[in-house]
Structure 1
């Protein structure tokens, strides 16, 4: 399974990307379990209630993409501290720590 987390936005406008291959990562099994326990693959691409196109340029946002065999899914969310974004923040923290 390949997991990519890319962020952008914020006042500096810096973009960074973090990639994890769960087959090669010591945290791979835990990440796969976290994904299986989450609503990730059933979630809309815009993982929060508001439209990702309306995210202001000064608000950091993340795009998490998971590729597993022939299955590929992405979720975008504003990292604004809202309850809607919090459900993805835990998964994101696991990805960044891997």
Structure 2
């Protein structure tokens, strides 16, 4: 499994990108990813998740998950972040 993660926006407007591949991280960390993806129901999330009102200086997240024959990309604003997706975002930000 491979995840590309990008966070943009915020007060300083700094972009942060990273890619996590389960083949290149410790096994105990790699074992956490599938359950985070499943708990978020990631592959069934819409491609864009936005809030009804925009707020300046909030983060935007773009995630692409590649797993075997599946690939899905979503873009979500911080203010519209589903609670089920938050643990995955937090895990990725710690890596």
TM-score (norm 2): 0.78
Q: Is the alpha carbon distance of 1:55 and 1:71 closer, same or farther for their aligned partners in structure 2, counting shifts above 3 Å?
A: farther
Cα contact 1:8–1:16 (8 A) shared by 2: yes
How do 1:19-58 residues align onto structure 2 when only pairs under 5 Å count?
A: 19-26=19-26, 27-48=29-50, 50=52, 55=54, 58=57
Q: Is the alpha carbon distance of 1:49 and 1:55 closer, same or farther for their aligned partners in structure 2, counting shifts above 3 Å?
A: closer
Q: Structure 1 residue 46: deviation in Å?
A: 1.4
SS at match of 2:24: coil
Q: Which has the higher strand share?
A: 2
Cα contact 1:18–1:96 (8 A) shared by 2: no
What is the root-mean-square deviation of aligned Cα atoms in Å? Answer: 2.2
Counterpart-to-counterpart distance in 1, 2:45 and 2:74? 7
Cα contact 1:5–1:18 (8 A) shared by 2: yes
- 1:62 — aligned with what? 61
Aligned length: 93
- 2:11 — aligned with what? 11
SS at match of 1:86: coil
Counterpart-to-counterpart distance in 1, 2:61 and 2:54? 11
Unaligned runs of 5+ in 1: none
